Amino acid sequence: MNKADCFNLGYVAKLHSYKGEVSLFFDATDPEKYANLDAVFIDVDGILTPFFVEKITMKDKGFAKVKFEGVDSEKDARIILKKELFLPLQVLPELTGKHFYDHEIIGFAVIDEVYGEVGEVVQVLDYKINPLLQVQNTQLDKEVLLPLGNDLVQKVDREKKELHVKATAGLIEMYLES
């Protein structure tokens, strides 16, 4: 399994006991969806390694106490401490309408209802308070950052690889016409 075929689910946050239990943090809108995980991939020295879940107990605010098979001591658990968790992309349910996964829209053309074509999505900057859509306009060699509020995205056209948006008046011009 390689990272291109996976999505980042979170990370191993801390040790939970001397018996190898750890606390995982799920960076997800609905962490409870992962309450019945059988396995996760953990990035150990650049290699996605499968770890099988022996027991999982969901906690508050996206955390879960987990016991992995074969991780039976504090020493074993330290090897995976602060490491990233991954799951295969195919376990994600397909989204429709205006809803999308961040990785799904990379490379999509961004089309504003007033300005027209803005550029191409480079990445989604996942700031907790205000996530941003990073768009590159190659014709002008300029970057545009659009706040991903509830009203920005009007339509996701997966077939044409287009993201139709309604940006705040003057925001795009501020980036591209300066």
For 42-99, what is each residue's pLDDT tens digit? 999 999 999 999 999 999 989 999 999 999 999 999 999 999 999 999 988 888 889 8
- Res. 143 pLDDT band, cuts 50 70 90: very high
Q: Enumerate the domain spans of the chain.
A: 3-91, 102-176
- Res. 12 pLDDT band, cuts 50 70 90: very high
Q: Dihedral of the CA atoms 28, 33, 37, 39 (nearest 10)?
A: -30
- Integer angstrom CA distances of residue 56 from 12, 22, 128, 136, 139: 13, 10, 26, 41, 50
Note whether 3-91 and 102-176 share their fold: no
Beta strand pairing call for 142-147 and 132-137:
antiparallel
- Res. 4 pLDDT band, cuts 50 70 90: confident
- By the 10 Å C-beta count (0-12 exposed, 13-18 middle, 19+ buried), 178 is classed as exposed
Report the Cα 80 to chain-centroid distance in Å. Answer: 20
Predicted local distance difference test score (pLDDT) of residue 128: 76
- Classify domain 102-176 at the CATH superfamily level: PRC-barrel domain (2.30.30.240)
56: Cβ–Cβ under 8 A, 6 or more apart, which residues?
Answer: 35, 36, 37, 64, 65, 66, 67
The answer to whether residues 54 and 22 touch, using CB atoms and an 8 Å cutoff, is no
pLDDT exceeds 80 at position 22: yes
For 3-91, CATH gives 2.40.30.60
- Res. 103 pLDDT band, cuts 50 70 90: confident
